[in-house]
Amino acid sequence: MQSKISQYTSEIEAFEPKTAEELEAFRIKFLGTKGIIKDLFDEFKAVSPEEKRVLGKVLNQFKQLAEAKFNDFKDSFSGESQNKADGEDLTLPGEGFELGGRHPLSLVRKEIVEIFKRLGFVVAEGPEIEDDWHNFSALNFPEEHPARDMQDTFFVAPIPGENVDQEKKGEYALRTHTSSVQVRLMEAGKPPFRALMPGRVYRNEAISARAHCFFHQVEGLYVDENVSFADLKQTLYYFVQELYGEGTKVRFRPSYFPFTEPSAEMDISCTICKGAGCQMCKYTGWVEILGCGMIDPNVLENVGIDSKKYTGFAFGMGIERITNLKYQIKDLRLFSENDIRFLKQFQTEII
Ligand code: PHE
């Protein structure tokens, strides 16, 4: 046995594999389950106890030598042998799966929705192609009323062959505000209503840094018994504190919308200069963020709600404006140009 071991030892010492196959043959010959080392250990069982003492050590050293030799070369062929499947190199890095980020307008919309959800508002949506009734008439815009000019409307022809209401033919438009969704919601159900309606709206304006032919609004609606202007103020005050931080001031200025009476516009203290005066607030310390008011009883009656029993408030804000104040974006066009350098700056949250 001793002589066999020393013969194999020199064989192992001299062994220098050139290929993975040679190394594998070596492994099978010496270290395999039917290999030489296994045989030697079997033989070892039969020797006398005195011999065992000497041989045990020799045998163990021999085994370690064979293993060390195998390990020395194992890695040099690994890429070539074990990882090759059908000509593919499995050690190459995989193709990356890049996660995108959220658009800044989506981030802000989500934030707005979450704040109002905490007050029990649910989200509702409506179509972007709207008829005259939902966009104007039901909202107390009388025909030929100059208030219709407040919002430069894109009128659209019905798609030929499309199943349109014949009476309303020629009255379709891209919605100019999300107030149309209020009407749909109230027509479809019974009070109380507490809903938030985000969506895209369209106006026929020349595209510039400050205006675009489409933008996004979030409409809010609350109708129940005994809803008052104080509820409206408190709701919006809570919203502003949550969105822009405690201490942000609000002020209401009287305004006009056909569908609310009384109507107001709400300003907040400039989030950028904190009221000291800057370009964003045109050195006034205040920026307007939304229109609001108590729903005009005519609107409630138009959608079949008893205006003697129920009152309500509504508000509408532009998501772009809210986002600009948050991130100081000075050009509205950036939102729709899909410039990756712009969008990458908002990859803060991935869901
Ligand atoms: N719809 C109005 C606009 O687009 C905003 C608004 C909504 C005002 C609800 C009052 C109440 O300007």
Residues 110 and 235 placed together within one structural domain of the fold: yes
Whole-number Å distance, alpha carbon 316 to ligand 1 midpoint, is 4
Ligand 1 atom 4 nearest Cα = 177
61 contact partners, CB below 8 Å, separation of at least 6? none
- Atom in ligand 1 nearest the alpha carbon of residue 177: 4
- Residue 91 resides in a domain: no
Q: Which of 255, 120, 133 lies closest to 196 in space, CA to CA? A: 120
Q: Which of 35, 51, 86 is the last residue of a domain?
A: 86
Number of domains forming the structure of the chain: 2
Same-domain pairing of 306 and 197: yes
Ligand 1: residue of 175, 177, 321 to mutate (most ligand atoms within 8 A of CB) is: 177
Same domain, 182 and 82: no
Pairwise CA distance, residues 193 & 139, whole Å: 17
Q: Is 36 in the same domain as 128?
A: no
User: Pairing state of beta strands 172-174 and 193-202?
Assistant: unpaired
Query: What phi, psi does 137 have (nearest 5°)?
Result: -55, -50
d(CA 322, CA 239): 12
Q: Is 70 exceeded by the pLDDT of residue 193?
A: yes
* Mean pLDDT (whole number) for 124-138: 94
277-310: b (≥16 Cβ within 10 Å) or e: ebebbeeebbbbbbbbbbbbbebbebbebeeeeb
In one-letter notation, the amino acid at residue 243 is L
CA of 124 to the centre of ligand 1 (A): 16
Q: Is 140 in the pocket of ligand 1 (CB under 6 A)?
A: no
180, amino acid identity: S
- Model confidence at 166, pLDDT cuts 50, 70, 90, reads low
Task: Give residue 7's domain range.
Answer: 2-86
**Looking at the structure, do residues 117 and 249 belong to the same domain, yes or no?**
yes
Same domain (yes/no): 43, 116? no
Say yes or no: 28 and 112 in one domain: no
Q: Closest Cα to residue 107, out of 271, 289, 323? A: 323
Distance CA 309, CA 226 (A): 8
Question: Ligand 1 pocket: which of 134, 153, 233, 257 to mutate (most atoms <8 Å of CB)?
Answer: 257
pLDDT band per the 50, 70, 90 thresholds, residue 187: very high
pTM above 0.75, yes or no: no
Residue 157 shares a structural domain with residue 185: yes
User: Does ligand 1 lie within 6 Å of residue 292's CB atom?
Assistant: yes
Does residue 97 lie within any of the structural domains?
Answer: no
Q: Looking at the CA of residue 178, tell me the nearest atom of ligand 1.
A: 1
185 and 329 belong to one structural domain: yes
Measure 178 CA to ligand 1 centroid, in angstroms: 8
Cα–Cα distance between 314 and 219 in angstroms, integer?
A: 7
Compute the average pLDDT of residues 118-141: 95
Indicate which CATH number applies to the domain containing 297. Answer: 3.30.930.10
In a domain, 237, yes or no: yes
Q: Which atom of ligand 1 is nearest to the CA of 313?
A: 11
Mutation probe of ligand 1 site: the residue of 116, 179, 229, 259 with most atoms within 8 A of C-beta: 179
Alpha carbons 282 and 266: distance in angstroms, whole number: 16
From the CB of 258, is ligand 1 less than 6 Å away? no
Domain boundary among 86, 112, 135: 86
pLDDT of residue 328: 86
- Please give the pLDDT value at position 51: 86
| Confidence (pLDDT) at 288 | 95
Task: Choose one of 56, 86, 116: the last residue of a domain.
Answer: 86
Ligand 1 atom at minimal distance to the Cα of residue 290: 5
Residue 92 lies in a domain: no
Helix, strand and coil in the chain, % to nearest 5: 40, 20, 40
* Any domain includes 245: yes
Chain segment 17-51, per-residue pLDDT in tens = 888 888 989 999 999 989 999 999 999 988 888 88
